[in-house]
Structure 1
Amino acid sequence: MDWKGEISMLGFLIDLDGTMYHGKVAIPKAKEFVEKLREKGLPFLFVTNNSSRTPEMVANHLQEMGIQAFVDEIYTSAQGAAQYMVEHQIGKIVYMIGEEGLEDALTKMGFILSESGNVDAVVQGIDRKFTYEKLAKAIQFIHLGAEFINTNPDHLLPSDEGPIPGAGSIAAAIQTAAKKEAVVIGKPSPIIMEYAIERLMRKVPTLKRENIWVVGDNLLTDIKAGVFAKLKTALVLTGISRKEDLKGLDYQPKIVAKDLEDLIHQLL
């Protein structure tokens, strides 16, 4: 189908790692893709499962690679976790397992971080200084009635040295010991998707949900989240998923693009 006829009505939720960049290196045509969206006046948000960075840090990272980005164009799983806690009135005292991005999101929303006393929720993201002591504290708070919230289910993350454990691996350890499933915020959870859709549509009130595209490199997170949210989806083969991975899936992207240049030609 030719989507160009409805181009002026489109909006985009765009993944970052594997879609816009690999580590510190921009993916070819990432800069041009974003420039094309701006040129055509199309609204977009960068939506990431990464809870370790603040929106300011993410925007700076993109800008360092030559990709123009602003803080209000970033939505992280850490922000989603804080928003979820506010909306569900979970309480104000939090035991946090995470890094700067999660701490920033929680404290900006008025949460108090604590390692003792009465705790309303254990909120956990990626933590590259995770210890046995942190695991023990988390399960003790959960056994005492604290809610358990996990920023994202990613079990593995790419790194320069090879795969490393992600937030989902830490959550698995806590869940096993505490015998309690976490509320998962990040993709493919509908929680982060609904928040991102709402945020994008607030920016452009005339935007219709059915005209929002999810762009990402991961079938199991980005594309699955988009399909379940009943959005159009575009898989770019620049990151985790390969074309052969489409076989046997009970959901499929609307578009498969070999790279961002191909996606520009197909969509814009």
Structure 2
Amino acid sequence: MKKYKGYLIDLDGTIYQGKIKIPAAKRFVERLQKNQIPFLFVTNNTTKQPADVVKNLADNHDIFVNESNVYTSGQATTEYLLNDVVKHGLTKSAYVIGEKGLKQLLTENGFDLYSSNPSYVVVALDRDLTYQKLAQAVLYVNAGIKFIGTNADTLIPSEQGMIPSAGAIIDSVRYATHTNPFIIGKPNDLIVNNAVKRMGLQKDEVVMVGDNYDTDIAAGIKAGVDTLLVYSGVSKRDEVAKLPNKPTNEIDNFDEWIL
């Protein structure tokens, strides 16, 4: 079994399910810390800032990490937009379907979220989604405004079960406008490539860990890094067995994994 110098780890469905603890995941993180192996939680969740993620892990799952251990698709989206406005000479403005965490990040980086002529339409998970929000996004995209999706997750694990995620909302706008968005988070490799750079390691030294083949594992494969699929959330063994591109590694729970 290959030894990795760094781990990129999904959160929802991998480390926890909503507020439900996954004891083996807690032990896995503690083993990484004990062995001083660098890790970065790479999450498609845009509803929280890194500080919120750290607090949630501590308060609800007894997992104690730092903000430097967290990289969200909200952060990746903000970084992408900051580079894109310079590259194309656009204004820092965006119409956002999303929650407080994403909006705060963009506002803190100088983006006007109330412009009547935004440079971007950014669509993320929004649990207060309304028809009016969707309608405005569709109007802007149909007018030629650049369409950004933070992540393509169709479902997200929760204590109630699998519920709609950002991809379901993004697809509503896509369907209505016949326009494909640029996706920032997993399965796009952009977020993984950024995460590897943050860790200061080479791609052959890290492994992407997650429960969802279509996002976590697909992003790792696309980025050219090894992958570790843990069957604690979305993907099932019988489904993955039928796929042509298999994960590098597969486990039922983290207690099976040797660092």
Same structural fold, with TM-score higher than 0.5 when normalized by the shorter chain: yes
Q: Residues of 2 paired with 1:108 and 1:198: CA distance?
A: 23
Task: Tell me the TM-score normalised to structure 1 length.
Answer: 0.90
Q: Residues of 1 paired with 2:252 and 2:141: CA distance?
A: 44
Answer yes or no: is 1:33 the counterpart of 2:28.
yes
Deviation at 1:262, TM superposition (A): 0.6
Q: Is 2:20–2:159's contact at 8 Å kept on the other side of the alignment? A: no
Q: Residues of 2 paired with 1:238 and 1:152: CA distance?
A: 20
Q: Is 1:14–1:44's contact at 8 Å kept on the other side of the alignment? A: yes
Q: Residues of 2 paired with 1:239 and 1:161: CA distance?
A: 13
Q: Residue type matched to 2:219 in 1?
A: A
Task: Tell me the TM-score normalised to structure 2 length.
Answer: 0.93
- Count matched residues: 254
Gaps of 5+ in 1: 202-206
Deviation at 1:143, TM superposition (A): 2.5
Deviation at 1:178, TM superposition (A): 2.1
Instruction: Give the secondary-structure state (helix, strand or coil) at the position aligned to 1:253.
Output: coil
Q: Is 2:50–2:67's contact at 8 Å kept on the other side of the alignment? A: yes
| Structure 1 residues 151-162: aligned runs within 5 Å | 151-162=150-161
| Structure 1 residues 20-59: aligned runs within 5 Å | 20-59=15-54
Answer yes or no: is 1:99 the counterpart of 2:99.
yes
Q: Residue type matched to 2:154 in 1?
A: H
Answer yes or no: is 1:13 the counterpart of 2:8.
yes
Q: Residues of 2 paired with 1:59 and 1:145: CA distance?
A: 38
Q: Per-residue displacement from partner, 1:190-239 (whole Å, max 9, x unpaired)? A: 121111111112xxxxx322011111111111111111111111111111
| Structure 1 residues 1-268: aligned runs within 5 Å | 2-4=1-3, 10-64=5-59, 65-89=61-85, 90-114=90-114, 116-201=115-200, 207-263=201-257, 265=258, 268=259
Deviation at 1:184, TM superposition (A): 0.5
Q: Residues of 2 paired with 1:98 and 1:181: CA distance?
A: 18
Q: Residues of 2 paired with 1:230 and 1:174: CA distance?
A: 30
Aligned Cα root-mean-square deviation (Å): 1.5
Q: Is 1:148–1:183's contact at 8 Å kept on the other side of the alignment? A: yes
Q: Per-residue displacement from partner, 1:85-124 (whole Å, max 9, x unpaired)? A: 111225301111100111122112221111x521111111
Q: Is 2:157–2:234's contact at 8 Å kept on the other side of the alignment? A: no
Q: Residues of 2 paired with 1:111 and 1:222: CA distance?
A: 29
Q: Residues of 2 paired with 1:41 and 1:254: CA distance?
A: 23
Deviation at 1:160, TM superposition (A): 3.3
Instruction: Give the secondary-structure state (helix, strand or coil) at the position aligned to 1:45.
Output: strand
Gaps of 5+ in 2: none
Q: Is 1:94–1:113's contact at 8 Å kept on the other side of the alignment? A: yes
Counterpart in the other structure of 1:204: none
Q: Is 2:13–2:157's contact at 8 Å kept on the other side of the alignment? A: no
Q: Residues of 2 paired with 1:68 and 1:105: CA distance?
A: 23
Q: Residue type matched to 1:226 in 2?
A: G
Deviation at 1:163, TM superposition (A): 3.1
